[in-house]
Amino acid sequence: MKLSTMVIGPLHHSLMLTCLTVLCIVAGMRKTNPSFLNGVPELLVLRLLSRREMYGYQIVEEIRLQTREALTFGEGCIYPYLHYLEAEKLVSSRRREVDGRSRNYYKLTRRGRKRLGQVASEWKRVTSGVSLLMEEQHA
């Protein structure tokens, strides 16, 4: 079986990334955005930033590693999204020089923590409901 990439196209929601890539076990198949993924990018980025301050590429890599490559984002998607979150005051940033490289590090604000709580709660509600429906129960 060959792993291929399914690209999830532009979303028409202000908090969605336009370049979300999901790996699936389907050879050479391209699909459009499944609506059940709405809100996932926001949740993942906010969750990672709740743990520690990070720069954009680090977020890209952490999503890839922590989801065991089930979800991957390109830098061209993460950076505009981080700028949006900063404009909404959900994250703040500061420029730091590390090993001779200047990087913009992002961290969650108090408002961002509150939003993470809301999004996480909604995610749990939705996944719980889907799980209940997907369980095979016989009376």
Determine the Cα–Cα distance for residues 115 and 49; give it in Å rounded to an integer.
Answer: 12
- The model's confidence at residue 33, banded by pLDDT at 50, 70 and 90, is very low
- Residue among 15, 20, 11 at smallest CA distance from 86: 15
Has residue 23 got a pLDDT over 80? no
Domains of the chain: 4-27+36-134 (1.10.10.10)
- Convert the pLDDT of each residue in 45-84 to its tens digit: 999 999 999 999 999 999 999 999 988 878 887 888 899 9
- Residue among 68, 61, 8, 64 at smallest CA distance from 39: 8
Contact predicate 110/131, CB 8 Å? no
Has residue 8 got a pLDDT over 50? no
- Convert the pLDDT of each residue in 90-127 to its tens digit: 999 999 998 999 999 999 999 999 999 999 999 999 99
Has residue 14 got a pLDDT over 50? no
The arrangement of strands across the sheet holding 101-108 comes to 54-55, 101-108, 91-98
Half-sphere exposure of 70 (CA within 13 A, CB side): 7
Tokens of 129: 């409901």
pTM: 0.71
- Coil/strand/helix, residue 28: coil
